[in-house]
Structure 1
Amino acid sequence: MMSGAKKQAANIDVRMFEDVSVLRRKWQAALRPGEVLARYEDVMLGSLGRLADHMMLLKRDHGAFAVSRTGRYAQKWLGDERWDIPIEALPPDCVTALTEAAGNAIANSRPYLATAHSMRDGMVRTYDVLALPTFSRWGGTLVGAYVNERGAQYNLLDAIFSTTDGGVIALSTIRDATSGPSDFQIVHHNQAVAKLLNLADRSLQWQRLSTFEHPLGSEVVIEQLKAAVAKNQGSQFEIESDDRNLQLGVTVFADILSLVISDVTPLKRREASFRLLFDSNPIPMWVFDLETMAFLKVNDAAVQHYGYARETFLQMKVHEIWPKDEWVSYTRLLQDIDKTCQSDRHWRHVKADGSEVCVLAYGRRLTLDHREGYLVAVVDITERRKAEARIAHMAHHDGLTDLANRALHQARLRDALEAGHALGERVAILCIDLDLFKNVNDSLGHHMGDHLLQKVADRLRSQVRGNDLAARLGGDEFAIMLAADTSPKEASDIAVRLIQALSVPYEIDGHQVVIGASIGIALSPGDGTSSEELMRNADMALYRAKQDGRGVHRFFEREMDHQAQQRREMETDLRRALAHGEFELHYQPVVDIASESISGFEALLRWRHPDKGMISPAEFIPVAEDIGLIGPLGEWVLREGCKEAANWPSEVRIAINLSPLQFRSRNLVQVVVSALANSGLPPKRLELEITESVFLAETEANIAILHQLRELGVSISLDDFGTGYSSLSYLRSFPFDKIKIDRSFVKDLAKRSDCVAIVRAISGLGRSLNITTTAEGVETTDQLDWLRAEGCNEVQGFLFSAARPAAEIEQLLLRFGAWESRAA
């Protein structure tokens, strides 16, 4: 039958394996499609039950791990109850296990199960450490680590080095007046003595040795004790008792002797146990002679791990497994070690095949076969060191391109600026943004975009020299630091070469991809003396380069800083404007050509700034999109527009423009339903205008939203038709109710035959597909006549009216007769 201890160990093992399986399944279940790592909130938050006591949360800080949170069992294992501490503050065995497990989990983006050996106070315990890599929006990459003891623990030091409890007797010397010591009297002894001598405890105290009917009272023993007193020098000898051998150690303190009795039989059993634990231990171990440095014993694990035959091993000396460049330093270290050693130093060892490994060494002095030796156990941490190196590299390099990341770039830039300031030299920063990269992602997919970024990185690497540094800052943004003293002309020449190099077509998976690059340049100290200031100004120069047509480079100018301040001011004002009700809607009539009556109004957003007056939508709409305000702003437009349209005649519709960014929130349908419900406006009177950019990203999801809106009864109109590069495909993707002809074609309708041809083609397309066509920007009667002749259905523009406030809608409707028809 299994003992209680073994049953408990078995239960621990079974439960541990169940825990590991549960956590692995929980991690796999939390892994969302398209994501590499499961989210922290899905794995680590929620009900973990008793597993929470065994969990630790690790986070990376500047390339190193830190312990953020710990459960009660984990705290006991770590020997530390503190939170938010660097991993280096923990015991080395814990650091080794956690770093290996977390490093491999992050490197492979999968849960990783590691085995940890811990030896504290002589107790050897084996633990399983499961690392679960996760990603959190607020904490980046986080690792949840589960730890639990595997099976029973054992006391290695006791098993290898300890002897049985010895009997201790204190003897007083009895002297004759003439002949010196004649006998010895027991004045004190421990409990082990009676057991060792098989005598009753009470028969020992105050007895003389010569009265014993036991080998301890023999003449031989008494003579040995007399000699020790006479010489005032201890000794050691053995006697036989029954079927046992007893070893006696004598220490002399004047007339008082200490006699230590040890049973040799248990000692021999311990030697057998030592051989068992030594030879069968999975950890490589050996014993070497402290004087000759020769190997005395090696276990099977050492033979297998190092690759030397046992006979060869036993003919070698310790220094032969050290690299030659470490012989002197390692020999000095061995001379300085104490009786025990748990080294936190990394030792380099050479295996039989010449390869090097990195190990941690643990040792203890001992006597083997009457020779002073040193027992050593080693833990190979070569893979852990490689993992640490990989983690350190990952912490400072971009995972996709292997260029320096933003953190390394900023650190190197700070160093270069300090050195440049001391030497009076300039440092240049080139901020690079890829032109047309978004089109590659949207048309060919993110996989192709990733390949393209890797090839761009290769070309950037080929352009840097010396201490210059190429980095990827994120997305399609790159930077090159020119650390050597750089003149404006040199920086300009390099920028030209970079633009040329990056603009050469790329061959990727059978596709020829053409992109370009825009570059902003800033030079210290004139454009900034800190890394933050220099990068900010280079980024402003890049923004100007993109404004100036892309494919060019621009140097930072102080006027750019002024413009940036204006932009920041507008961002602040925009956030305040919505809360303070500074926005209003104006409405431009849409006229039906056949009936010459108003068929609807297009709602146009206006911003009446309290200090600056009316601000054009062309100025603030892009800013609102950039800062994430377009969602609530668009929702306000829908509510306000529907509420106003509910007061118009029943046949008059309202058209409201949607930003492509409004589709990202995925609640657009609910917003439209709410606006219609609150206003009471019938869905058939609402027309939503979109541009083809809605189809450039997440096309399937956006088309699904458009179908949901159309099922409500809302009309969908395609605005600015004909200005994109693939508009006809969109007409096949979705059954639009209306297409709007861009004002750029209407403007020159009477002057250019190509404009006439385009309008004719769009109108014909609309008739064929049963789609209403509306022309924008009509300003003259000639333009109106041309549009009527080409079969256009609706028009809008200054010829009829500019956009007007809601208060003037009734007058417009009266002018076109719609209000009277409502009254009728």
Structure 2
Amino acid sequence: MIAAKKSSGKFNTVMFGDVPVLQRKWLAALRPGERLPRYEDVMLGSLGRLADHIALLRDHDETLCVSHTGRYVQQWLNDDRWDIPLSALPPDCATALGEAASSALANGRPYLAAAHCVRDGLVKTYDVLAMPTSSRWGGTLIGAYVNERDTQYNLLDTIFSATDEGVLSLAAIRDASGQPFDFQIVHLNQGASRLLKQPSTELLWRRLGSGGNLLGSPEVIERLRDIIGNGCGGQFEIDSDDRCLKLGATAFGDMLSLTVSDVTAIKRREVSFRLLFDNNPMPMWVFDAETTKFLSVNDAAVQHYGYRRETFLGMKLQQIWPEDEWASHSEALREIGEVYQSARDWRHIRADGSEVHVLTFGRRVVFDGRDGYLVAAVDITERRKAEARIAHMAHHDGLTNLPNRDFYQDRLRQALERSQPGNKRVAVLCVDLDLFKNVNDSFGHPIGDRLLKQVAERLRSEVRGDNLAARLGGDEFAIVLVSDVSPNEASDFADRLIAVLSACYDIDGIEVVVGASIGIALSPGDGATSEELMRNADMALYRAKSDGGGVHRFFEREMDRQAQTRRDMERDLRRASANGEFELHYQPLVDIAADRISGFESLLRWRHPDNGMVSPAEFIPVAEDIGLIIPLGEWVLRQACSEAINWPADVKVAVNLSPVQFRGRNLVQAVISALAHSGLSPRRLELEITESVFLAETEANLAILHQLRELGVSISMDDFGTGYSSLSYLRSFPFDKIKIDRSFVKDLARRSDCVAIVRAISGLGRSLNITTTAEGVETVDQLDWLRAEGCNEVQGFLFSAARPAGEIEALLAGFGTRASNAAA
């Protein structure tokens, strides 16, 4: 061992930088694309003197074995054997090697650990660097470098000098009869010198009987004589005016080991404890740390828990725990330290069997000479009830008390996780009430709210077990069926639910009838995540609503394709305006009597950079849905007016208005701005609307139309005779023009009913002094029929398709030449 120490000392100065050298060597040997360097590149050829410090480990059937050791490592292990398991080595060395090797294998990198070994009362620290390498024979070899650091220290001296307690060794002095009568101090630490308030030089080799400190009293010497006479140990306390010391003595032969502790503060705390414990309004008790028996309870605990004091003091701590929490209570009790504060609330049982929720706070105390814990309990039962109510509110809809969207999505995710091992199906149903808006509009929101409550009750009665119904918002509900339902079972359930929800509701004598539409998505085919299933069920619901409502539809992949196309269009629309992709084309309006172009209808066109021209029938509804139609409509107004100012003064421009623009309430200002910016006369601007403007907020929309009329612009009704067109519209507002839809013009030559409709609309226009314009004129025969029936204006491919603004001048000139030739 002496040689090993010398060798170690010699190597310490040389090998200070060995660890970084070896780490760099390992990194340099690592080839691109390989997880570990090769054993030969790291461990063979250039280790030199370091080879003595290397132990080679291999992983054999998940057990680490030592296959080779250098001379230094053999001295460190005190074992020169090879090919032995790691467990056969000294535990301190085996632990350090095992820790470093396991960490290196786990990380795939060199790992540096420290080993602390006790040798002959000295603590020595070693660096252990484990370097994983690949073996040509397969598997992994770990080279472990071991070397001692400079620092070492005497364990016993360090412990005794570091402790605050006093430690003394006493030798018994016997009289002629062989009986001990005094003791001599043969060893002491600085703690003893401090507690006895004398320098160690004065205390060392001094007899206790000579006095001068608290140990010299006859009572202390007598207690020590009894301990050495009995050959055992004991503890006792000694008091002075200002201090209380606790002594612990152990005898072995004529020697005594004596520990001295200052317990003055503890004694004072015990006095304070008595004062604070008995009259404290918070329930408190002391229990024995070993037996858990109650040692003392204060009046507040007696009153709060309802046990008589005598009963309380005959109980153990476990008797106030509910049986289902015994294990967790016991685990917490085993882990308790000097101070305890519960990280969770506990349930306690009172004398009447009721339960309370409490937080407990405790600290270790000495009570009547016994090791125990002082515990204070804070009753939080009412707080927990309030928190439970708040948690319920956070996860449930306030109106219907059904689970809300967050709760539903969380439950759906759990259901999907449980279904994955067996590839079981989970069904998601999105439910929307049909005609619910009519209920709010007809009877008011209070009746609508009460209807939703009754709908929720019917859902609860139909959705049972582990299945869940939730309200997502408004009149939208969702259901998750977790019991591996088949498509047929989901279909039957949806049909039954539609019938239940569509039955008449009685609300304060008012009979209310609504319907229900349902979209269904099934995992895993329609989606593996909650987000996918909800999105796809919602698309299926949209199809059910589009098919007239009152039905259910399953999700189909074509719906997803259509939805993706719609999302792409929304994205492209939002950037189209900024990129200047919109343009206006103009189709001429021809005055039949004068045989001239009286105006142009402006038609919006979208020149997509990838898809070319996109039909307005495709993108206008999307622009309306996403709110883009309002800024887009304002651009059309400004552009049309700016281009029309360059036309002849008797040529008008017609601009189509969307019903959405009326909801924006900024339409009148947009028209004024367009006219002012362009300088166009209001008499040359014609605004076309459809009958849908009259289907919503009629009074407000009529007011806007009258404001527009007061500006001097003309108002035209487009597509008259289709949809919900009503003659009452012509009474509601004095239109300047009504346009006959192309569907009637197309079959004029073949169907007598189309002729009758055109004749009626033309006659109505003449009677009300309203201009009539026929759309979609493509043949001379159609033009002759319309002229014969008294129609005022026509437009269609017979004259021209819609043209860009740059072609308007040529179009006007060409039409004038044609008219002159016709006159000649």
TM normalised by structure 2 equals 0.59
Partner of 2:171: 173
Do the aligned partners of 1:591 and 1:795 also contact (CA within 8 Å) in 2? no
Question: How many angstroms apart in 1 are the aligned matches of 2:260 and 2:594?
Answer: 124
Question: How many angstroms apart in 2 are the aligned matches of 1:745 and 1:334?
Answer: 85
Question: How many angstroms apart in 1 are the aligned matches of 2:426 and 2:241?
Answer: 91
Partner of 1:642: 641
Displacement of 1:550: 2.2
Higher RCO structure (Cα 8 Å, ≥6 apart): 1
Give the counterpart letter for 1:373 in structure 2. G
User: Quick one: structure 1 residues 377 and 743, their matched pair in 2 at CA, closer, same or farther if it must change by over 3 Å?
Assistant: same
Q: The residue matched to 2:737 in structure 1 has which SS?
A: strand
Do the aligned partners of 1:545 and 1:554 also contact (CA within 8 Å) in 2? yes
Give the counterpart letter for 1:495 in structure 2. A
Kindly report which structure 2 residues correspond to 1:192-591, keeping only aligned pairs within 5 A, or say none: 207-212=206-211, 216-237=215-236, 248-252=247-251, 257=256, 259=258, 268-279=267-278, 284-290=283-289, 293-299=292-298, 302-303=301-302, 305-308=304-307, 313-314=312-313, 316-324=315-323, 344=343, 347-380=346-379, 382=381, 401=400, 402-403=402-403, 405=405, 406-408=408-410, 410-411=412-413, 414-415=416-417, 418=420, 421=423, 428-439=427-438, 451-484=450-483, 486=485, 490-506=489-505, 513-522=512-521, 537-556=536-555, 560=559, 563-564=562-563, 566-567=565-566, 570-571=569-570, 574=573, 578=577, 581-587=580-586
CA deviation string 1:565-623 (max 9, x = no partner): 55456456645755665533234678999999988755332345678775442322122
CA RMSD of aligned residues (A): 5.2
Residue 731 (str. 1) matches residue 702 (str. 2) = yes
Q: Quick check: 483-492 or 786-795, which moved more?
A: 483-492
User: Quick one: structure 1 residues 668 and 261, their matched pair in 2 at CA, closer, same or farther if it must change by over 3 Å?
Assistant: farther
Partner of 1:787: 764
Give the counterpart letter for 1:407 in structure 2. Q
Give the counterpart letter for 2:171 in structure 1. T
CA deviation string 1:550-572 (max 9, x = no partner): 22333455655554555456456
CA deviation string 1:670-693 (max 9, x = no partner): 97787567x43358569696xxxx
Q: Quick check: 603-612 or 227-236, which moved more?
A: 603-612
User: Quick one: structure 1 residues 180 and 627, their matched pair in 2 at CA, closer, same or farther if it must change by over 3 Å?
Assistant: same
Q: The residue matched to 2:183 in structure 1 has which SS?
A: strand
Find the partner of 2:794 among 800, 803, 807: 800
CA deviation string 1:607-649 (max 9, x = no partner): 4567877544232212233455435533542442232233245
Question: How many angstroms apart in 1 are the aligned matches of 2:571 and 2:557?
Answer: 22
Displacement of 1:789: 3.5
Do the aligned partners of 1:287 and 1:373 also contact (CA within 8 Å) in 2? yes
Q: The residue matched to 1:518 in structure 2 has which SS?
A: strand
Give the counterpart letter for 2:412 in structure 1. Q
User: Quick one: structure 1 residues 172 and 394, their matched pair in 2 at CA, closer, same or farther if it must change by over 3 Å?
Assistant: same
User: Quick one: structure 1 residues 612 and 169, their matched pair in 2 at CA, closer, same or farther if it must change by over 3 Å?
Assistant: closer
Give the counterpart letter for 1:410 in structure 2. L
CA deviation string 1:694-753 (max 9, x = no partner): xxxxxxxxxxxxxxxxxxxxxxx86426852663575368854449675565479xxxxx
Question: How many angstroms apart in 1 are the aligned matches of 2:262 and 2:423?
Answer: 78
Do the aligned partners of 2:716 and 2:735 also contact (CA within 8 Å) in 1? no
Give the counterpart letter for 2:499 in structure 1. Q
CA deviation string 1:354-376 (max 9, x = no partner): 32233454544433113343323
Question: How many angstroms apart in 2 are the aligned matches of 1:340 and 1:764?
Answer: 88
Residue 720 (str. 1) matches residue 691 (str. 2) = yes
Partner of 2:740: 777
Displacement of 1:530: 6.9
Give the counterpart letter for 1:460 in structure 2. L
Question: How many angstroms apart in 1 are the aligned matches of 2:264 and 2:182?
Answer: 29
CA deviation string 1:323-357 (max 9, x = no partner): 35556885687578676655556532113443223
Give the counterpart letter for 1:680 in structure 2. S
User: Quick one: structure 1 residues 726 and 225, their matched pair in 2 at CA, closer, same or farther if it must change by over 3 Å?
Assistant: closer
Question: How many angstroms apart in 1 are the aligned matches of 2:684 and 2:317?
Answer: 88
Q: The residue matched to 1:643 in structure 2 has which SS?
A: helix
Partner of 1:696: none
Give the counterpart letter for 1:800 in structure 2. V
Question: How many angstroms apart in 2 are the aligned matches of 1:243 and 1:559?
Answer: 92
CA deviation string 1:740-787 (max 9, x = no partner): 675565479xxxxx98xx54x544544xxxx55432327687356423
Displacement of 1:226: 3.3
Question: How many angstroms apart in 1 are the aligned matches of 2:329 and 2:675?
Answer: 82
Q: The residue matched to 2:403 in structure 1 has which SS?
A: coil
Question: How many angstroms apart in 2 are the aligned matches of 1:174 and 1:416?
Answer: 75
Partner of 1:136: none
Displacement of 1:427: 5.4
User: Quick one: structure 1 residues 248 and 283, their matched pair in 2 at CA, closer, same or farther if it must change by over 3 Å?
Assistant: same
Question: How many angstroms apart in 2 are the aligned matches of 1:808 and 1:289?
Answer: 103
Displacement of 1:384: 6.5
Question: How many angstroms apart in 1 are the aligned matches of 2:251 and 2:681?
Answer: 110
Question: How many angstroms apart in 1 are the aligned matches of 2:327 and 2:415?
Answer: 40
Displacement of 1:250: 3.5
Displacement of 1:393: 5.6
User: Quick one: structure 1 residues 603 and 448, their matched pair in 2 at CA, closer, same or farther if it must change by over 3 Å?
Assistant: farther
Partner of 2:34: none
Do the aligned partners of 1:593 and 1:793 also contact (CA within 8 Å) in 2? no
Give the counterpart letter for 2:234 in structure 1. S
Kindly report which structure 2 residues correspond to 1:672-687, keeping only aligned pairs within 5 A, or say none: 679-681=677-679, 684=682
User: Quick one: structure 1 residues 223 and 582, their matched pair in 2 at CA, closer, same or farther if it must change by over 3 Å?
Assistant: closer
User: Quick one: structure 1 residues 439 and 421, their matched pair in 2 at CA, closer, same or farther if it must change by over 3 Å?
Assistant: same
Structure 1: 5+ residue stretches without partners: 1-164, 690-716, 749-753
Partner of 1:94: none
Question: How many angstroms apart in 1 are the aligned matches of 2:814 and 2:443?
Answer: 52
Do the aligned partners of 1:436 and 1:515 also contact (CA within 8 Å) in 2? yes
Question: How many angstroms apart in 2 are the aligned matches of 1:351 and 1:244?
Answer: 43
Do the aligned partners of 1:359 and 1:379 also contact (CA within 8 Å) in 2? yes
Identity percentage of aligned residues:
57
Do the aligned partners of 1:347 and 1:359 also contact (CA within 8 Å) in 2? yes
Question: How many angstroms apart in 2 are the aligned matches of 1:727 and 1:591?
Answer: 32
